[in-house]
Structure 1
Amino acid sequence: MTGRHVLIADDHPLTLVGLALAARAALPGIAVDSAASIGEAERVIAQRNTGYKLVLLDFVLPDARGFSGFLQLQHVLGNTPIVMVSAHRDRVIIEAAKALGAAGFLSKSLPLDEMSAALRRIAEGETIFPPSDTSSADAQSARDLISTLSGAQLKVMLALADGRMNKQIAGDLDITEATVKAHLTAIFRKLGVNNRAQALLAMQPLLGDAAAPS
């Protein structure tokens, strides 16, 4: 169910007000729910049984690292379009958002009319991302590789990029260490690598400095 609600997850009150105005202008009659963290967003989603038309997600939230928050909400929401919003236009982040299945990537600095126009188009099924240099063979290769990973494998890969060890990954994802090891084995096979460091190097064009092995 798409519902007649939009969820905005952003911990900056002024930005939240602006995004809510843009959402209401884009989708007249829409109701807006808000959250200041991923945990709060998950609680709001659990209480809302009519589904969401769109979710606007701040890339930087206090309880998220990298794309971990996006992946958590994506898992909970299924096919609901999630639009990343950010104060920055980092090419690596934009390309990763696109590869991970975001419905769009919008700058917080967009004028209200442009923001609302973009949200209207996304609600109608379009994907909207800023122009970026997609000619990089490395970035294209990394996108192709990451698209072969399952949702669970992708979560483990991103946790790996955050520098977490198997025990930490298991605790964060609520799975066993044996399951983490099984996912890593599958990831290495799909990426054509032999170890964690090589996997991080393969993903570095998309995940940036976070994926640089120490």
Structure 2
Amino acid sequence: MQEGRILLADDHPLIREGLQMAIRIRHPQYMVDAADSIAAAEDLARRRKPYKLLVLDYRMSDCNGFNGLFRMQHALHDTPIALLSAYTQPPIIATARALGAAGFLSKSQPLDELVRNVDLLLAGQKVFPDVIEVPSDIADLNARLQSLSPAQARVLSALASGHLNKQIAADLDLTEATVKAHLTSIFRKLGVTNRLQAMLAIRPVLDPFAES
């Protein structure tokens, strides 16, 4: 009996197709959908959700850094999202955890190990490698982001995707007044006063390599 769907989003065909097949073999009770871009994943989310789990490539052709995570959190709301990446720098892993990811999987892991980690994620566990101390500026930003309520995080996610207040309100089924109230709280918690400053403040999260 089918128990639900899993979504796999990765723009590398070999990784995407190999992991998709391995998960299907291990979990025949789940339908495993695959997308090669964030746009395709968003389309599947609109048409086929709810999903039990999303395994999301950290960087794809139409997103940079954590923008993909923001966008898919916006599209899937409560679905656990695990990031899959060849980048395993501790600040990236720590930031992923702070932003609400359910796990961080390395593309250097053997396929059978990746599937075992998917097992843990489906069981509701968090899956992260051990990380060393995070730089203080990232730690401070993480703390500010963690202080956001779930509703505020969804509004910030939409803002990071370039949406205006009217579109955010329509997408999240809110009034524009409520969106403005959330933005006021978000700006206060981030220590900024407007949208541009907010985007600059979270730039290290949207793309940790922007300044490298």
Given the two structures, how large is their TM-score scaled by the length of structure 2?
0.75
Structure 1 residues 95 and 172 mapped into 2: Cα distance closer, same or farther (>3 Å)?
farther
Of stretches 98-107 and 27-36 in structure 1, the one that deviates more from structure 2 is 27-36
Change (3 A) 1:61 1:209: closer
The 1:89–1:173 alpha-carbon spacing in structure 2 relative to 1, beyond 3 Å, is farther
Please name the residue that 2:32 is paired with: 32
Deviation for aligned residue 1:143: 1.4
> 1:52 aligns to what?
51
Q: Give the Cα–Cα distance (whole angstroms) in 2 for the partners of residues 68 and 204 of structure 1.
A: 10
Q: CA deviation at 1:25?
A: 4.8
Is it true that 1:6 corresponds to 2:6 in the alignment? yes
128-137 vs 81-90, greater mean Cα deviation: 128-137
Name stretches of at least 5 consecutive residues in structure 1 with no aligned partner: 160-168
The number of aligned residues is 199
1:174-209 CA-partner distances (Å, limit 9, x unpaired): 459x99987765444213356789767865775634
Cα pair distance change 1:192/1:67, threshold 3 Å: same
| Structure 1: distance between partners of 2:202 and 2:48 | 36
For 2:77 and 2:181, locate their aligned partners in 1 and report how far apart those are by CA, in whole Å.
Answer: 24
| SS in structure 2 at match of 1:154 | helix
Match of 2:108, SS? coil
Secondary structure at the residue paired with 2:94? helix
Deviation at 1:11, TM superposition (A): 1.3
Read off the aligned partner of 1:74 and give its amino acid letter. Answer: Q
Q: Which moved more, 1:25-34 or 1:79-88?
A: 25-34
Looking at structure 2, the residues matched to 110 and 130 of structure 1 have their Cα atoms a distance apart, in angstroms, of 11
Query: Conserved in 2, the CA contact under 8 Å of 1:5 and 1:31?
Result: yes
Counterpart of 2:126?
A: 127
CA deviation map 1:61-88 (0-9, x unaligned): 1222322222222122121111110111
- Once the 2 structures are TM-superposed, how far is the Cα of residue 135 of structure 1 from its aligned partner? 5.7
Aligned 8 A contact 2:102 2:126 in 1 = yes
Unaligned regions of 5+ residues in structure 2, if any? 170-175
CA contact (8 A) 1:25 1:116 kept: no
1:19-168 correspondence runs (5 A): 19-48=19-48, 51-134=50-133, 136-149=135-148, 150-155=152-157, 158=160
Q: Percent identity?
A: 42
> Contact 1:92–1:206 (CA<8 Å) still a contact in 2?
no
8 Å contact kept, 1:145–1:191: yes
Counterpart of 2:10 in structure 1: which amino acid? D
Retained in 2: the 8 A contact 1:26–1:119?
Answer: no
Structure 1 counterpart of 2:112, one-letter code: D
Match of 2:172 in 1: none
Residue in 2 that maps onto 1:166:
none
- Indicate conservation of the 8 Å contact 2:3/2:29, yes or no: no
- 3-state secondary structure, aligned to 1:55: strand
